[in-house]
Amino acid sequence: MTKNGGLMFVGRENELKILNRVFSSNRQESVLIYGRRRIGKTELIKKAIEDFDGEYIYYESKQTTELSNVDSLSSLISDMLNLPRLGFQSMEEVFEFLFSYTKDKTMVFVLDEYPYLRSCMKGLDSILQTVIDKHLHTSHLKLILCGSYVDTMKSLIERENPLYGRFTRILDIKPMDYYDSSLFYPSFSNEDKVALYSVFGGIPYYNRLIDESLSVRENIIDLIASQNGLLLNEVPMYLKNEISKINNANEVFETLAAGNTKFMNILNKSHIASSPILSDVLDKWMKMGVVEKRAPINDKNNKKKAGYYICDNFTLFYYKYIYKYISQLNVMNEDAFFDRFIKDDLYKSHIPTVFEWMCQQFLIRKNKLNELEVPFFEIGKYYYDDSVNKMNGEFDVVTQDDNGYIFYECKYKNSRVTQDVVDQEIEQVKNVNMSCYKYGFFSKTGFDLTDDSNIILYTLDDLYHSFSENI
């Protein structure tokens, strides 16, 4: 955790290592960085530049004309490099100058919000490709293209795009997991950290706004569950930027937030006109990283068993509790609104569900750090058919390794997990003939067991203290 321009910089260790290697290499580099708004792309780049001992130019493209951008860049380059006023007439001239300037020196050139520049300049990708190829073996420029329009940025690496194969590094910036998110609000209790993550998720911008002098309830009301909440219009704003047919988007999100995961159920309950339209909407969101398609790890190719889930906590919270009741929010006292429409379901249903996903993140962290006895290569849901009781269903957290499956049960309750609970869960697994060689349990409040020799046990403290030495 470090300070960055007055702000606390948290996480992103792997991304920083990659950029540091790029900046220290002895060759031309072209890096593509993309991710949704507020994800922390710019802060990541600025932090990496702090550790770079050399010249750099950071330019945020404007939604204006090519000439306006060129004029702004000309002034910036002159100022940053202590040169007389440069009179570039086109972006091609800018690129030619910078690539030539760096024949004998290393410099970082950041073009942030590249889609803005691309939209006002026809053929920009081709021009850039030509310049990159021309100076490939002579320049030491580190070119960073960054953008929030995920679809546009991903199109740059498609085979038909002129820039295909030109990027030496591609960074898809994802939301932070529960642990890195908690570093933004360290003074809260572990239970409060779970609650905050279930609402604000892993978007750094949202987490920076959390006030540690306020309670969880007060933060939720202050930021999202009030007419003047700073983040009240955040979800509609970023969705509108990416998706033009916002009415369809709202209908589908409402349906997903209500717990409908199967394609046909979503289609029927959201009143979308056709399957192709729904497919387009879902595909768009999956590219944005706000929706995931999940299939059971033991039947990954079965389309009927796959489901769609809102994987961004803030979006999920918004559609469960805010969008659905926005009319009531506009006429009610904010505390009364919270108590009437949020409080009970938040703690009884929403947080325990998010906790299951947190347990997956915890296991993935330990797996990547090689801290598990046997590393796993798959994690997710496990679909079962219970012929005895004539029912089917899913186990939410199951890992698969070279020895088989490990089943995990996640209990986010105020009561401790007893031996009877453990025995019942293990018996259920055995009844469905799951080839499980080990069992694990997560508990919010701990365990009261007589025999724990053959099971894996994790508490809430384990989730938050297992990685503290890596900060």
Q: How many domains does one find in the chain?
A: 3
pLDDT tier, 1 (very low <50, low <70, confident <90, very high otherwise): very low
Task: Answer yes or no: is pLDDT of 469 > 70.
Answer: no
pTM of the model: 0.90
Task: Answer yes or no: is pLDDT of 57 > 80.
Answer: yes
Q: What percent of the chain has pLDDT over 90?
A: 73
Question: In sequence order, what are the beta bridge partners of 171?
Answer: 33
Residues 6+ apart with CB under 8 A from 13: none
CATH of the domain at 98: 3.40.50.300
CATH of the domain at 194: 1.10.10
> What is residue 7's predicted lDDT score, i.e. its pLDDT?
59
Q: What is the largest CA-CA distance in the chain?
A: 83
> How far, in Å, CA of 154 to CA of 468, rounded?
35
> What is residue 11's predicted lDDT score, i.e. its pLDDT?
84
- Looking at the fold, whether 462 and 411 belong to one and the same domain comes out as yes
- Looking at the fold, whether 343 and 440 belong to one and the same domain comes out as no
Average of per-residue pLDDT values in the chain: 91
- Total H helices, total E strands in the chain: 22, 16
- Looking at the fold, whether 107 and 185 belong to one and the same domain comes out as no
> What is residue 37's predicted lDDT score, i.e. its pLDDT?
87
Task: Answer yes or no: is pLDDT of 172 > 70.
Answer: yes
Lowest mean pLDDT among 1-5, 86-90, 220-224, 351-355: 1-5
> What is residue 388's predicted lDDT score, i.e. its pLDDT?
61
Q: What is the tens place of the pLDDT at every residue in 254-263?
A: 999 999 999 9
Q: Nearest Cα to 192, choosing from 346, 411, 7, 336? A: 346
> What is residue 370's predicted lDDT score, i.e. its pLDDT?
93
Determine the average pLDDT of the residues in 73-97.
92
DSSP for residue 174: P
Task: Answer yes or no: is pLDDT of 3 > 60.
Answer: no
Q: What residues make up the domain containing 59?
A: 2-172
Domain finish residue from 137, 172, 207 = 172
Instruction: Report whether 439 contacts 456 (CB < 8 A).
Output: yes
> What is residue 271's predicted lDDT score, i.e. its pLDDT?
82
- Looking at the fold, whether 221 and 320 belong to one and the same domain comes out as yes
Domain finish residue from 353, 388, 409 = 353
> What is residue 348's predicted lDDT score, i.e. its pLDDT?
96
> What is residue 403's predicted lDDT score, i.e. its pLDDT?
93
Task: Answer yes or no: is pLDDT of 6 > 60.
Answer: no
Q: What is the tens place of the pLDDT at every residue in 269-324?
A: 888 878 888 888 898 888 888 999 998 998 888 888 889 999 999 999 999 999 99
Identity of residue 440: G
Lowest mean pLDDT among 83-87, 201-205, 436-440: 83-87
Determine the average pLDDT of the residues in 394-400.
90
Task: Answer yes or no: is pLDDT of 4 > 50.
Answer: no
- Looking at the fold, whether 146 and 136 belong to one and the same domain comes out as yes
Task: Answer yes or no: is pLDDT of 177 > 50.
Answer: yes
Kindly list the distances between the CA atom of residue 402 and the CA atoms of 297, 379, 437, in Å, as whole numbers in the listed order.
Answer: 14, 13, 11
Task: Answer yes or no: is pLDDT of 139 > 70.
Answer: yes
